[in-house]
Amino acid sequence: MNGEKDTVMQNIRKNKGISLRLRITLLVSLLLLLLNGVLVGYSVHSGGQYFTQATMALKVEMSAIKPSAEGTEAQTIQRWQEVPLEMQAVSTEPAAVAISTLQEANSSFRQEILLAFLFVDVVGILLTYFVAGRALRPLTKLSAKMAQMDENNWNCAMTEPDTHDEIGQVSESFRHLMERLQDSFQAQKHFAANAAHELKTPLAVMKSAIQVLHLEEKPSAEEYEETLELCLETTEQLSQMVEELLVISNPKEEAKEEISLKKMTEEIFQKYAGLIQEKDLVVWQQVQQDTWYTHPVLMRFLLENLLSNAVKYIRQGGSIRLMEEIKENQLHLEVADTGIGISPEHLPHIFTCFYRADPSRNKEIAGNGLGLSIVKTAVEKMQGEITVESEEGKGTCFHQYFNVTLPA
């Protein structure tokens, strides 16, 4: 199992590609670059306009005090003479220096904007990578816990989530899922162990009978007949148990067919006629609608298990009652007996596979603990409900409710 687990983990590492943390960082970095690019472009454009306007203003001012090369010489001299003497003393070089300074400032402004842009991008990318790692840390822990899990180690994922955000919700949902899976896995292991035990017991009986016969030097015909009869009974018991296990495990739903409730119950009671006569039981039925469409195999399993339990666990001279009532295609089927009843502490568990209430008291009664589990499974597959009422020492009553189709 560990080798399979290591292989799976190696395949995951091999095919994992770019991590979610890196993808988030790349996406945020791309958005940051686009946004900063727009801001830098706008800043450079606006700053360039301001520097251009300032430069043009200086040039206009210089043209007002500088002799122009345009026009006639007399006009130039006249305009120059109109300028105050203190302004004439001003050389044109300072204005040229001012224009050059503005141009250098514009160039420096662009460089600083670009450097600031690069700095913000680098810091933003690093912060995004760090924050994404912090945000995804619970998910990383959850992934590590999942990788540690196997059929012998379920508890590693049973811790409470560290956060209450979306990742915390995923972790909590995963924890509940693992709890349900663990319960289901344990139930399957328990079911498999019990099934193996129940199947092994009849086989052991049959094997012992054959070995005893084999040890006899000259077995008589009666001994052969007794051993053969025991083997046939054991085979029938095994066959019935396998059919019951298939009903429990088979998820398929059979087609509906028309059945006769009276005919089906008469066949079942005929099967236990000897025990009914031996215990002097009273059996009576109250059937409102004899025929309707339902799942015949499931219905037979349901009735046979309920009625056989009633016959087995009932007292001498007791009674079994079967009542059927249909209202608007809703069937209410009631099976009651005056048997030994079920104690309150055992009542919640009677539908569990291989569960037998007080097996020490009932060890003389043959059974494998599958009967009522079969009943519940059959009712659920027919999309119905089942309830039970029981009082120890007085008897038990089962109520089944499900939809049926009446014949036209």
Is 263 found in the same domain as 287? yes
Neighbour-count burial for 86-118, b at 16+ CB within 10 Å, e otherwise: eeeeeeeeebeeebeebeeebeebbeebeeebe
**How far is it, in rounded angstroms, from Cα 168 to Cα 156?**
16
- Are residues 389 and 266 part of one domain? yes
Query: Does residue 130 fall inside a structural domain?
Result: yes
Specify which of 195-204, 245-254, 350-359 reaches the highest per-range mean pLDDT.
195-204
Strands 257-260 and 291-294: antiparallel
CA distance 39 to 329: 74
Given a contact cutoff of 8 angstroms between Cβ atoms, the answer to whether 365 and 375 are in contact is: no
Report the relative pairing of strands 385-391 and 395-403 from DSSP bridges: antiparallel
Q: Note whether 264 and 211 are same-domain residues.
A: no
One domain for residues 213 and 239? yes
Residue 167 has pLDDT above 80, yes or no: no
Domain membership flag for residue 152? no
CATH number of domain containing 386: 3.30.565.10
- Least confident range from 5-9, 38-42, 153-157: namely 5-9
Q: Check: pTM over 0.75? Answer yes or no.
A: no
Regarding whether 345 and 231 lie in a shared domain, the answer is: no
Dihedral Cα 97, 102, 108, 109, nearest 10 deg: 170
Q: Residues 273, 239: one domain?
A: no
Number of domains in the chain: 3
Tell me what percent of the chain is helix, strand and coil, each rounded to the nearest 5.
65, 15, 25
Instruction: CATH number of the domain at 242, please.
Output: 1.10.287.130
Same domain, yes or no, for 245 and 277? Answer: no
Q: pLDDT by residue (tens digit) across 34-91?
A: 887 888 777 777 766 666 666 666 566 556 545 444 445 455 445 444 544 444 444 4
Instruction: Tell me which of 249, 276, 305 is where a domain ends.
Output: 249
Range of the domain at 345: 257-403
For 314-372, write each residue's pLDDT tens digit.
888 999 999 998 887 788 999 999 988 888 888 888 887 767 665 544 444 555 567 78
Q: Is residue 70 part of a domain?
A: yes
Last residue of a domain, one of 219, 249, 279: 249
Count of Cβ atoms closer than 10 Å to residue 387 Cβ: 9
- Spatial distance between the Cα atoms of 301 and 324, rounded to a whole number of angstroms: 17
The last residue of one of the domains, among 218, 249, 280, is 249
Which of 69-73, 182-186, 194-198 is predicted least confidently? 69-73
User: 11 lies in a domain?
Assistant: yes
Q: Please state the separation of Cα 116 from the chain's center in Å.
A: 50
d(CA 34, CA 121): 10
| Residue 166 within any structural domain of the chain | no
pLDDT reported for residue 321: 92
Residue 346 within any structural domain of the chain = yes
295 and 397: one domain? yes
**How is the beta sheet containing 319-327 ordered, strand by strand?**
282-287, 319-327, 330-337, 395-403, 385-391
Distance of alpha carbon 101 from alpha carbon 107, whole angstroms: 10
| Phi, psi (rounded to 5 degrees) for 327 | -130, 115
Mean pLDDT of 108-115: 77
> What does each C-alpha distance from 197 to 105, 203, 309, 366 come to in angstroms?
93, 10, 21, 15
Cβ-proximal residues to 354 (8 Å cutoff; 6+ apart), any chain: 190, 191, 194, 195, 198, 368, 369, 370, 373
Q: Tell whether 283 and 236 lie within a shared domain.
A: no
Q: Which pLDDT score, from 0 to 100, does residue 226 have?
A: 85
Amino acid at position 204, single letter: A
- Report, in angstroms and rounded to the nearest whole number, the Rg of the chain calculated over CA atoms: 46
Query: Which range has the worst mean pLDDT, 198-202, 250-254, 306-310, 377-381?
Result: 250-254
Residue 133 confidence (pLDDT) above 60: yes
In a shared domain, residues 262 and 245? no
Query: Which residue(s) pair with 330 in the sheet?
Result: 327, 403
Whether 168 is in a domain gets the answer no
Together in a domain, 290 and 399:
yes
Q: Tell whether 339 and 274 lie within a shared domain.
A: yes
* Domain-embedded: residue 245: yes
Higher confidence at residue 78 or residue 18? 18
Overall average pLDDT of the 262-270 stretch? 88
* pLDDT for res 398: 94
